Amino acid sequence: MLVVTSGACLAGTPLIDARQNIQSYRIHNGVVSGRLSYPEEQQLIDGQVRVQQMENHAKADGVVTPFERARINFAQSVQSARIFWKKHN
């Protein structure tokens, strides 16, 4: 039996994905609680999309290198700080 998979499937990033989900939840929670306005929500969602694009680009060749992981982790940390500051301004 022959199993064919794409390269992106081979590059697993469960911690990155989990952190993305948590940050999306934090954004949603901020909107529901009234701490985030619609423009702030859109800015934060755009940031989440940029981080997701970085992850997809890193996965494209089937291997996420330590440098790519560090870069994505840094971008997620920046995004996390933005979520905090937008919710507390």
- pLDDT digits over 14-49, tens only? 999 999 999 999 999 999 999 999 999 999 999 999
Taking a C-beta distance cutoff of 8 angstroms, is the pair 20, 52 a contact? yes
Q: Which tokens is 59 given?
A: 């996965």
pTM (predicted TM-score): 0.83
Please name the residue that has the structure tokens 């948590």: 22
* Residue of 8, 1, 6, 20 whose CA lies nearest to 60: 8
